Structure 1
Amino acid sequence: MSKKFYGNLLLFLTAFIWGTSFVAQVLGGQSSIGPFTFNFSRNMVAGFFLLIIVIPFLSNRDKKANNGVAPAKGDQKTLLLGGISCGLALFFAMTFQQIGIMESTAGKAGFITALYIVIVPLLGVFIGKRVTLKMWACVVIAAIGMYLLSFKSGFDIGKGDILLLICAVLFSVHILVIDHFSPKVDGVKMSCIQFFVAGFFSLVLALVRENVVFANILESAIPILYVGILSSGIGYTLQIVAQKDTDPTVASLILSLESVFAAISGAIYLHERMTPRELLGCAIMMAAIVYAQVPEKRKLGKLN
């Protein structure tokens, strides 16, 4: 099977992990620690989780790939630049998401965050990314499905929702930054760097704006470990690895399934009941994702 298929499969797994993590984030937001302390903790857990994995076998793999020679200095600079860029984008996106989710529901937060399916192709146009008519159709269909899934009636937007909308823009930037750097560097190492960068800036804000108490962090250990290891450590790393072989618009469509998984997990663990309207929204979104995977017929006379 093709690299594209495996890449898309990893993105489906990422969407599942992210969607179920909204429950942990809601629980974390209801705990005695502030949003910046929560984000600092999850990023440090993710960073050290990857570091434990990276050190034992990635160093050996790199030496074998380069016949015992260390990677070129230019590659290290690109890796560092990519990690810092991704880390800054992730830090700002996580900050707005964690603050916004404290004033929203898991399902609604999943929907608004996943609006990057619309924002990614829009931003991509400005940097020369080509988006086909079929992809635009899939984006619109998926957005309709997300609306049915997440909004009970009307279009009520509160303060938390506005923050989550800003978060969606920032996650779109994060996706495009990954699209730029992921083919050039080791994805796991870049992911590890981004977590320590995001964790550092989260700690700075936590020390300035919150009362950081280690005992309170321990009380929230379960949601922090879940989000830190699964959502961040595994989820964001899978995203970076998978996006090497996937178009960013297609990637954003698949990742938008996190809103479906957020609604389902919210219904199971937080008793946020799903209505027939919400189930219809899930079905429409899934249809849009499946349609996006159907290969288009190439016109005769074109090589690409």
Structure 2
Amino acid sequence: MGSLQRRADLLLVATTLIAGFGWVFSKESLQGMPPFGFIGLRFLLAGVFLLPFCVWQRSRIALSAVPGIIGVGCLQALSLLLWILAVSLSHALGEGAFIMSLSMLFVPLVAWVLLRLKPTRPFWESLPLALLGLAMLTLTQGWRISASQCWFLGAALAQAVYFCVNSRYALSLPVLPLTCIQLFCTGICGVIISVCFETWPSVIHASIWLWFVASAIIATSIRFLLQIAGQKRTSVANAAIIMVLEPVWTVILSALWYGEKMPTQKAVGCMLIMLALVLYRGRQYLLLKRLNA
């Protein structure tokens, strides 16, 4: 059992590292592709890649559940389209990754509004730290925040709404077809918006297509498969804490790849957000353990 647990933890650590690389893959792809078109094609290709696994497992869902899944897929599309818009405007991927990580702290507030589930004490204990960290991360020029930071915040909020609604569907439906349909929804939404509002370049360099394929196959399809495999063999709380590593990897990779520098104030803001997330997830785990004892 201990060996399986360690293997699951390593799979989840690998998932966060791949997710960090995904930020770089996406930013590089945007050097030659329009943002919404990139997201559309990326998630269509990722859906096609996962489709054979659905057929192989013979996973089936009722036709009556499909409209609801498509609706949830549209929420995922909203979150990702806001995210890619923010990435296309941002000059600091690590900063954006930490803002996006706040979505897990937005989830209890969204669940309170949508599902009437009152946030637990660990949430209220962690929230002030997260807000202070966000302020230090974003308000480096007085009370002004950049457009990309606003879009990252919007994407994080949309992701929290998607997470709450999707959690209800994931309880009763097979994971792979649920994921696959949502990938196709996001892809179709991105392509439609791109066709309506974006202009594609006449020629896209081969290197851009390589970054695109890496983003679709490695950072989307393989990442999802590793995450599903890891989550099956470890606790939710353990998985949640490991997933906090994603913005850390993103900061490291963006510093190595783009030479991004983080001023002291922003670095402290990132550390406060990280501390808030770890505190929230750790305290939430202890609370659940005490209730189940």
In which range does the TM-score fall when normalised by the shorter chain? Answer: 0.7 to 0.9
1:25 Cα offset (Å): 1.9
Instruction: Answer yes or no: is 1:18 the counterpart of 2:19.
Output: yes
Change (3 A) 1:154 1:124: same
1:120 Cα offset (Å): 1.1
Matched residue, 2:78:
92
RMSD: 3.7
Matched residue, 1:296:
286
Q: Which residue of 198, 207, 216 corresponds with 1:210? A: 198
1:190 Cα offset (Å): 1.0
Matched residue, 1:228:
216
- For 1:27-66, list aligned pairs within 5 A: 27-31=28-32, 33-55=33-55, 57-59=56-58
Task: State the one-letter code of the partner of 2:63.
Answer: K
Name the stretch that deviates more: 216-225 or 198-207.
216-225
1:194 Cα offset (Å): 0.9
Asked if the contact 2:99–2:152 (Cα under 8 Å) also holds between the matched residues in 1, the reply is yes
CA distance in 2, matches of 1:261, 1:135: 25
1:179 Cα offset (Å): 1.0
Name the stretch that deviates more: 178-187 or 144-153.
144-153
- For 1:122-141, list aligned pairs within 5 A: 122-126=109-113, 127-141=115-129
- For 1:1-304, list aligned pairs within 5 A: 13-31=14-32, 33-55=33-55, 57-59=56-58, 71=60, 75-77=61-63, 80-105=66-91, 106-126=93-113, 127-142=115-130, 144-145=132-133, 154=142, 156-212=144-200, 215-216=203-204, 218-236=206-224, 242=231, 246=236, 251=240, 255-274=243-262, 284-291=272-279, 292-293=281-282, 295-296=285-286
Change (3 A) 1:240 1:272: same
Identity across matched positions, percent: 23
Change (3 A) 1:285 1:165: closer
Per-residue CA deviations over 1:37-71 (Å, capped at 9, x if unaligned) read 1111211221111123333x312xx5xxxxxxxx5
CA distance in 1, matches of 2:223, 2:131: 22
Give the SS at the match of 2:286.
coil
Asked if the contact 1:15–1:258 (Cα under 8 Å) also holds between the matched residues in 2, the reply is yes
CA distance in 2, matches of 1:111, 1:154: 20
Q: Structure 2 length normalisation: TM-score?
A: 0.78
1:181 Cα offset (Å): 0.9
Asked if the contact 2:139–2:145 (Cα under 8 Å) also holds between the matched residues in 1, the reply is no
Task: State the one-letter code of the partner of 2:57.
Answer: L
The structure that is helix-richer by fraction is 2
5+ long unaligned stretches in structure 1 = 63-70
1:24 Cα offset (Å): 1.7
5+ long unaligned stretches in structure 2 = none
CA distance in 1, matches of 2:45, 2:202: 14
Change (3 A) 1:140 1:235: farther
Per-residue CA deviations over 1:111-149 (Å, capped at 9, x if unaligned) read 222221332111111213343212332354355456656
Runs of 4 or more consecutive aligned structure 1 residues displaced over 6 Å after TM superposition: 2-10
Asked if the contact 1:178–1:240 (Cα under 8 Å) also holds between the matched residues in 2, the reply is no
CA distance in 1, matches of 2:202, 2:69: 28
Task: State the one-letter code of the partner of 2:218.
Answer: L
Q: Structure 1 length normalisation: TM-score?
A: 0.76
Give the SS at the match of 1:196.
helix
* Count of aligned positions: 285
1:93 Cα offset (Å): 1.4
